[in-house]
Structure 1
Amino acid sequence: MSALIEIRDLVREYMIGGEVIRALSGVTLTIDHGEFVAIMGPSGSGKSTAMNMIGCLDTPTSGEYVIDGYNISSLSEDQLAELRNHKIGFVFQNFNLLPKTTALENVELPMMYAGVPARERRKRAMEALDRVGLAERMYNRPNELSGGQQQRVSIARALVNNPVLILADEPTGALDSRTTEDILGLFEELHAQGNTIVIVTHEDEVGRRAKRIVRFRDGTVESDMSSAEREVTGHHVD
């Protein structure tokens, strides 16, 4: 595997009320193509800031972040927006679906921004919904779908531009335990198909399903351990 994400000495500071708050303090991290990684840590640990950096939703105060060969510090806002749309598929806790449009239309949305022709959009959106097991619900609106089905729609939307990275922010946080199991199973299937997946979560069960856990504390990487290493050392997620 080769590096998809390379983060070196990353610092992110914010000015709040005249005081400098350091959310990330010199983070160095590499994630290879095809990995399934969980980023974990308590509230205020820096994991959400790290997610924003990985998703190109924010830029560092200092240090370097390269994704798929692109150094984000050298990109304009428009270039960052294009990179997000083409390279990263986002999955959110609350699904972020447009309520008055069908599942199919929600999945088509990223391709509209990418300038994909209408017929190709429809074809790819239908294929993506079939891939997540929702071929029979593509004309339903979000309020006609269960929470798990809505999350499947959002995963199909994340997949539809064939991104190099699927970035999921607490993707099971709004779901019950049985539905959580279904969604985690889907992520495992996508990983087995070669997708690179990074999940930001505080849930131990989600972390256990990943192949690697990167744990943040106080703006730094506290530990970084593969599932094989966890088994050998007897190290637990919690």
Structure 2
Amino acid sequence: FNVEGVDELTLSPEALAGIFAGTITKWNDPAITATNSGAKLPAAAINPVHRADDSGTTENFTDTMNVLAPSVWTWEADGLWPDGLKGEAATGTSGVVQAVTTGTNMIGYADASQAGELGTAKLLVNGTAQAPTAEAAAAIVDNSPLESGREANDLAVALDRKAEGAYPAVLLSYAIVCQTYTDSATANLVKSYVGYMASAEGQAAAAEAAGSAPLSASMQAKVKTAIDSVK
């Protein structure tokens, strides 16, 4: 976000959804001031920015709003922004970040690693204001169940966006490999590659290079068990 005179911002899911649905249009709306005691929120129009292109970030963001504030955000998760909603459209993450940076009283959504000097809002989850930290992102993975009906060592996570201690707007990436390979050389190469990705060293490298949130130690151990099962 980029709001004149505001350095920190906490939003309830309903307020966030209302901003992007167009039902909350002023920064000093009671739904926003209620969670930002002491902040000097201006009596100015909110200028929301959304993606113009088909985007996994948009699908993740709209799913978060639909899960946490379904009475306000009534659209299902989708990579394309709903037609008819007000707001500025920008192409790509860089376009959204640029629009929010150069505009006035703006708010948008993007990968936290790309936010730069912009403010990042905390979201109220179970009454607690959660910041988009690496720890809060890892917590949603640890505190969500695995998808049911999967094979052993399949670690697909059924994200619980209401999980305790977690930041809800998280997008997971997976490495998918075969359980069995026809030759041991290929199996060992795959295990070495994915094993490095999931290791503490590999996770730290990814965090530095791409801003991704490292897996917790407990999840790294589960991934190692799955990798060791590859033959």
Larger relative strand fraction: 1
Task: With the length of structure 2 as denominator, give the TM-score of the two structures.
Answer: 0.24
Task: With the length of structure 1 as denominator, give the TM-score of the two structures.
Answer: 0.24
- Bigger radius of gyration among the two: 2
